Structure 1
């Protein structure tokens, strides 16, 4: 492990070159599983940000003129490099973020798939040509072009996948990029920058600026009218502030924000499938996921059996450092996150909820919290209204379909919902009523590079992945052509 950390890049990646921060400053990166320092990373300063902006602007015209096939081949080579080096990438992610090696391996595969998907989309940026319906010899030529230099802000919970999900379409579309990775997990993104350079990404197209202050990087970039696009994954609170910062220069925005995902299990559902789906939807990434199931609404007639089986599954999951054999649940990212989980569970218990397993932080080094199932959760418990971002499943019951939809939509968020039923009519009927951007029907996993990922309401706007993902990085241009007809 020490050897891996030693050979990983720890400098700023500025316009294709590795270098120290302008003033030489650095910050520590720690392993959340034991609280030990892994290494120190360069801390980008104002001068670095200005240089990165100038480089992105300077490289934009030439990069946009690059043949789409060439951009696609760079992404394809990057996919292959990620695939070939999956073990190193997975171990690095586990060390800096905490998830189990099995989960990290799955994320590497998922993250790499965005490069493969968008390598194919790069050559499918189509326009259209047609006659003016009013006649008179007019023609319409519609084409699509890269929006321009972009700022991409990635979170700590999926340090590779949230990077490739933004970098893939930006590269495919022909945009230059400045990436601000999360302070807690910069190593995965820095390593990814090195892989892209190795895959042939030209100097100047990409800069990666780790920093202890996100505003130090993002603020000057969004204040510069030459930056034309911002993509952010993170909390709704921060997202609202970024929208305000983009307003003066009217920059394009993609916002993948917070969630409060409902999980609906109807009485005709397969209990085996519902419990398996519940564990997947809740416990992926230790529960630290914007698409994690946050509220479990179960039809009353099957609630006791559902809780019994869910408790059995959750209580059997091994908790420990992500590198240990058989570990299913790693640490939370830091003390603040663990304390938030403690606070929300304690609030629910104080209001009358009960635990069937877990309900406490674990002693020792690292930021561990036991997998937890809560029952009898009252409607006013904070955990039903706030994103818990941890391994906690609060269960409530409902009687009718209308009540299930009402409970599911009783939130400002609308990122994802999960729906378990054997009745296809009900699946479609309820799915169409739910105010959310994505729905998992009889599955606890919705993430797919080929599908549009995103939400509604306070969960943001824009889509990442799928055929829709590249559109976020393209502007539409219309040419009105006057064609002289033969006389």
Structure 2
């Protein structure tokens, strides 16, 4: 048995420590979750709705406590942490209202007395989740999964173990309050050295039906491989290097202001944040000046201070990786117009950074930068802007800015991504499906598409006395 610890990236002080689960405890958790599923799969909509409403109520009641825990464990500015909890509560209520509609039987006219398509739960679903949005990543998976009649096992990032256990408390308290099985949601504590082996064993377990992962490409490939070997469904939400394209007729001041919001949310630690800013040459100087000016004014500091806009990165090694990407790009010809290095003093901080004169051969263009670093790339015309934006192995989101919406859409359609936003910052919203393509993964979360990912699409045919099933011979 090992020990998981979480440490504040702002102070270096330990937040908490917990013993990991043994192989026997994990086996029991899987079996208990499956037992919970066997009764939950036939539960009525009144009970499922009540569960999600109760989850939302508990998230709201504990919002300050849960936000402070996020801030302690991974350094999220507390104002953003509060907003994250609120978004989780809203999403739970959204599925409480919409799940019956999303999963309603679809009647199909055939020679049968009656035939329809239904969506039925698949079983126990394992979720492997990252540290950057400790509650949102969990709720955007678990709310639709439980609403569909499944049970959930959570293997969270070790650095946010406190959040993982708090999430379990929220769901189990809600389940107990409405009379649902408590084991519908279980957090598994796995030693870091054993994550790969244990995750594979859980995926291969005959009582586990599917797996979803949000994380790195390497982790996604490992999970997808394990699931494929046992022919189980997987959904992957991986990295992103989203383009933010500003055409020459855009409102430059608005685009620059929204560029700051897009890039520096969660201190830049977001898969769907804009990372590559492809700007028309005619307005590039003005955009870069406005952008850098606003970035330089961002308040960096104690993440518990409500006025702080940029907190520390979640881990010290991220600072090292980001500095390598920045230094390498500067050596290749990029120009620093804001930030460029970690500030003096304690904590895993990195100054909000804007690099101009970036070209496709540089690290900040080719690689995902997971921190407060923005790369500005010039484009001579719309064709080059589209080519530069699409020059990436990723395909999560893209945004295009122009006063001419049709022109923006024409450029956007040449960029491969799971989401295209015009004159708006890319964001996840429970009302719309979320996910990527290329090396950003596959499958969808949220909305109608997301809740159906972990369902069995089942055809039901009721025979009529004078009807024949498809494919039967007719005399």
User: In which range does the TM-score fall when normalised by the shorter chain?
Assistant: over 0.9
Partner of 1:202: 181
Contact 1:27 1:42 in 2 (8 A): yes
The aligned runs of 1:143-182 (5 Å cut-off) are: 143-182=118-157
Quote the Cα distance in structure 2 between the aligned partners of 1:353 and 1:77: 51
Give the drift of 1:248: 2.0
Task: Summarize deviations over 1:70-119 as a string: whole Å, max 9, x none.
Answer: 11111011112211221111111111110111111111112222211111
Residue in structure 1 matching 2:168, options 181, 184, 193: 193
CA offsets 1:302-347 (integer angstroms, 9 cap, x no match) = 0001111111101111111201242110001111111110000000
| Alignment-derived partner of residue 282 in structure 1 | 263
User: Residue 131 of structure 1: CA displacement?
Assistant: 3.4
The residue matched to 1:476 in structure 2 has which SS? strand
How many Å separate the matches in 1 of 2:48 and 2:216? Answer: 32
Quick check: 2:118–2:458 contact (8 Å CA) kept in 1? yes
In structure 2, what is the equivalent of residue 386 of structure 1?
367
Match of 2:471 in 1: none
1:482 maps to what in 2?
A: 463
How big is each residue's C-alpha offset from its partner over 1:452-476, in whole Å with a ceiling of 9 and x where there is no partner?
1101111111111112111012101
Q: Distance in 1 between matches of 2:22 and 2:132?
A: 24
- Pick the aligned partner of 1:472 from 425, 440, 453: 453
SS at match of 2:127: strand
1:271-326 Cα offsets, whole Å, 9 max, x none, are 12101110011000000000111111100010001111111101111111201242
Distance 2:108 2:66 in 1: 48
- In the alignment, is the contact (CA less than 8 A) between 2:398 and 2:426 conserved in 1? no
Q: Give the counterpart of 1:244 among 225, 237, 244.
A: 225
The aligned counterpart of 2:272 is 291
The corresponding residue for 2:399 is 418
Contact 1:273 1:442 in 2 (8 A): no
- Secondary structure of the structure 1 residue equivalent to 2:285: helix
Deviation at 1:212, TM superposition (A): 2.8
Match of 1:215 among 186, 190, 196: 196
- Corresponding residue SS for 2:212: strand
List per-residue Cα deviations over 1:170-193 (Å, max 9, x = no partner). 110010111001111121221121
Moved more, 295-304 or 118-127: 118-127
Cα 1:325–1:151 change in 2 (3 A) is closer
Q: Aligned with 1:131: secondary structure? A: coil
**1:269–1:422: 8 Å Cα contact kept in structure 2?**
yes
Answer whether contact 2:390 2:414 (CA < 8 A) is retained: no
Partner of 2:105: 127
SS at match of 2:457: strand
Cα displacement (A) at 1:443: 1.6
Work out the CA distance in 2 between the residues paired with 1:75 and 1:114. 9
Question: Cα offset for 1:232?
Answer: 0.5
State whether residues 209 and 217 of structure 1, in contact with CA within 8 Å, keep that contact through their aligned partners in structure 2. Answer: no
Quote the Cα distance in structure 1 between the aligned partners of 2:80 and 2:355: 25
Q: Structure 1 residue 228 and structure 2 residue 209: aligned?
A: yes
Report the 3-state secondary structure (helix = DSSP H, G, I; strand = E; otherwise coil) of the residue aligned with 1:179.
strand
TM-superposed CA distance for 1:400, in Å, is 1.2
The separation in 2 between residues aligned to 1:321 and 1:210, in whole angstroms, is: 29
Residue in structure 1 matched with residue 25 of structure 2 by the alignment: 48
Do 1:46 and 1:216's aligned partners in 2 also have CA atoms closer than 8 Å?
Answer: no
Which secondary structure does the structure 1 equivalent of 2:182 belong to?
coil
Deviation at 1:225, TM superposition (A): 2.8
> Are 1:107 and 2:84 an aligned pair?
yes
Instruction: Give aligned pairs, total.
Output: 460
Which residue number in structure 2 is paired with residue 402 of structure 1? 383
- Unaligned runs of 5+ residues in structure 1 are 1-22
- Structure 2, unaligned runs of 5 or more: 468-475
> Structure 2 length normalisation: TM-score?
0.94
Are positions 1:184 and 2:184 aligned together? no
User: Is the contact made by 2:299 and 2:307 (CA closer than 8 Å) also made in structure 1?
Assistant: yes
Cα distance in 2 for partners of 1:334, 1:203 equals 33
Q: 1:331-410, aligned counterparts within 5 Å?
A: 331-410=312-391
Whole-angstrom distance in 2 between the partners of 1:469 and 1:190 = 24
Please state whether the residue corresponding to 2:355 is helix, strand or coil.
strand
**Contact (CA 8 Å) 2:5, 2:158: kept in 1 or not?**
no
Shift of 1:59: 2.1
Distance 2:239 2:149 in 1: 29
Match 1:35 to one of 2, 12, 18: 12
CA distance in 2, matches of 1:376, 1:458: 26
